[in-house]
């Protein structure tokens, strides 16, 4: 799925409707940020589990002048931490096929959403087209309905215990032909109430969501069903503009998501471990895969040792990436002495050099639908990956940490690559492998994204299909705690990337087939 020579820009994302919407805006003369926002709104319909106005995310953007900013509009913990017995909070299990994962839902799992605020902040700072035009394609999709894609149907089926939990959700997402199941591939998903809300937001602004009718509805559903979010939580929500985390690697500058999110810092740590390793022979050689698995394992250990499990801040990130700390872990590398996750990503680069890496998440949803707008609300406080020290330990009125890692790669000659991934704790390992394939092994972006992956976490090596029997056998012997997957799977993330070379005027884009990747 490589796209070369596209006029005006290029897009990579997780659904063809998302890509087509962003592409339309580029063709009308919008910049990368216009296209990314239009794609984001379209993804709320086309990728309904992965993207919702009730969630949050990050945009790492570079302007044509080279200025880079990280927009943090992730979810916020409520101002008050209520007693656990007063909260609606319950476990559900999601089946990936070869793996099961436990999540928690109910209003007690909901955090303050930031996506709408983020969209308006990005629009104010970076966009050139009116918001009414950017929401129009998504509103049309929501009113007319779309045929649900096979991947989105699979995801809905996997999270059926959540999307069938309330009568309101069942009314929207259950199959008309098989009412006991969620929407089957090709069946129509229409969300006319969401279309009306998008129109309202475009005309009234973010205050509709954070101080107006939608805020009133969010506070009311929290009061009714055992949640902790009130009107003041919504009114005081703020988008934070941050300086990106920057690291040099193999002659490139890699920009990532800084504290308080930990994904970018952990990715930078893994790259630091690999900086001087000999990774030139090929992605299928056993030594390369062992090195990658070891880097993932050491990064996992360093996350705990550096205190990132207790919260990610500049001090802890500085300690994690300090040379003395990193050298200790680097010395343990080979050859040296001594969740299904509800996340999606959109990458856009335009011909002026504007680049947008936009990653958003709704968790898996808390099970409750907000009546005005048919919005599935998030369950960020019920995500084990985001609460490594246990539930109900979060700090009131604080930004929740995240594994999301929108990333930009910049070369001295002006080339730029925007990429990111969904996949919870697998985000950093998916991005790491794509970057190694592309930057160290000189593989095309498309080949780098499509190559089979491994993922190491808590001493367990997950081995994706496609490596070959000899490789799988060797890895299974080297890492006795392993899980061999029978296919290339959604579990291993979904990296969507776009690159632009201003010297030749060409674009390349790759969408990850594991997550419905599409380019345009």
Q: What torsion do the CA atoms of 497, 54, 31, 10 make, to the nearest 10 degrees?
A: 20
Please state, in angstroms and rounded to a whole number, the distance separating the CA atoms of residues 418 and 358: 9
Residue with tokens 């006795």: 480
CA distance 485 to 455: 11
**How far apart (Å, rounded) are the C-alpha atoms in residues 167 and 383?**
23
The CA angle 160-162-164, to the nearest 5 degrees, is: 60
- Report the distance separating Cα 295 and Cα 433, nearest Å: 11
**Whether 364 contacts 103, CB under 8 Å:** yes
DSSP, residue by residue, 432-457: HHHHIIIIIS---HHHHHHS--EEEE
Token code pair at residue 318: 């500085």
DSSP secondary structure of 311-359? ---HHHHHHHTSHHHHHHHHTTSTTS------EEEEEEEETTS-EEEEE
Length of the chain: 520
The angle that helices 131-144 and 115-126 make with each other, rounded to 10 degrees, is 140
Measured CA to CA, the distance from residue 281 to residue 458 in angstroms comes to 28
First CA to last CA across the chain, in angstroms?
9
Distance of CA 385 to the CA centre of its chain: 13
Nearest alpha carbon to residue 432 among 493, 488, 485, 374: 493
CB-based contacts of 318, cutoff 8 Å, min separation 6:
none
What are the catalytic residues? 343
């Amino acid at each position: 799925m490589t796209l070369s020579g596209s006029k005006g820009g290029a897009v990579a994302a997780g659904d063809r409707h998302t890509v087509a919407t962003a592409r339309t805006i580029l063709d009308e003369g919008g910049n990368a940020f216009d296209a990314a926002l239009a794609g984001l709104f379209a993804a709320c319909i086309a990728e309904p589990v992965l993207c919702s106005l009730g969630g949050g995310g990050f945009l790492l953007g570079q302007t044509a002048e080279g200025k880079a900013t990280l927009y943090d509009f992730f979810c916020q913990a409520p101002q008050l931490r209520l007693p656990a017995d007063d909260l609606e909070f319950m476990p559900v299990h999601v089946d990936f096929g070869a793996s099961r994962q436990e999540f928690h839902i109910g209003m007690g799992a909901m955090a303050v959403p930031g996506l709408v605020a983020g969209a308006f902040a990005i629009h104010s700072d970076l966009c050139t087209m009116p918001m009414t035009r950017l929401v129009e394609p998504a509103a049309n999709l929501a009113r007319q309905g779309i045929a649900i894609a096979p991947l989105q149907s699979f995801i809905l089926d996997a999270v059926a215990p959540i999307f069938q939990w309330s009568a309101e959700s069942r009314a929207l997402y259950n199959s008309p032909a098989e009412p006991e199941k969620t929407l089957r591939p090709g069946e129509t998903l229409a969300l006319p109430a969401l279309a009306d809300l998008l129109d309202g937001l475009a005309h009234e602004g973010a205050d509709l969501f954070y101080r107006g009718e939608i805020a009133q509805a969010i506070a009311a559903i929290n009061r009714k069903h055992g949640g902790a979010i009130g009107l003041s939580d919504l009114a005081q929500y703020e988008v934070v503009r941050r300086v990106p985390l920057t690291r040099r690697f193999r002659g490139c500058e890699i920009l990532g998501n800084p504290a308080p999110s930990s994904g970018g810092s952990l990715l930078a740590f893994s790259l630091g471990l690999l900086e001087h390793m000999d990774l030139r022979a090929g992605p299928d050689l056993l030594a390369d895969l062992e090195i990658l698995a070891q880097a993932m394992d050491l990064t996992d250990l360093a996350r705990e040792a550096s205190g990132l499990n207790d919260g990610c801040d500049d001090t802890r990130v500085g300690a994690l990436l300090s040379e003395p700390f990193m050298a200790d872990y680097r010395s343990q590398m080979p050859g040296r002495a001594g969740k299904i996750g509800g996340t999606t990503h959109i990458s856009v680069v335009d011909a002026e050099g504007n680049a947008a890496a936009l990653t958003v998440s709704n968790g898996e949803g808390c099970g409750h639908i907000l009546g005005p707008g048919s919005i599935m609300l998030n369950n960020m406080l019920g995500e084990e990956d985001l609460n490594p020290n246990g539930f109900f330990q979060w700090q009131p009125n604080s930004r929740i940490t995240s594994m999301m890692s929108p990333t930009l790669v910049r070369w001295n000659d002006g080339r730029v690559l925007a990429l990111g991934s969904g996949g919870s704790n697998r985000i950093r390992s998916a991005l790491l492998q794509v970057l190694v394939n592309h930057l160290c092994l000189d593989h095309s972006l498309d080949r780098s994204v499509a190559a089979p992956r491994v993922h190491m976490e808590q001493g367990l090596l997950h081995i994706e299909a496609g490596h070959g029997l000899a490789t799988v056998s060797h890895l299974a012997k080297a890492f006795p705690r392993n899980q061999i997957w029978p296919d290339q799977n959604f579990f291993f993330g979904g990296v969507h990337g776009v690159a632009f070379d201003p010297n030749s005027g060409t674009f390349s884009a790759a969408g990850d087939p594991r997550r419905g990747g599409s380019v345009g």
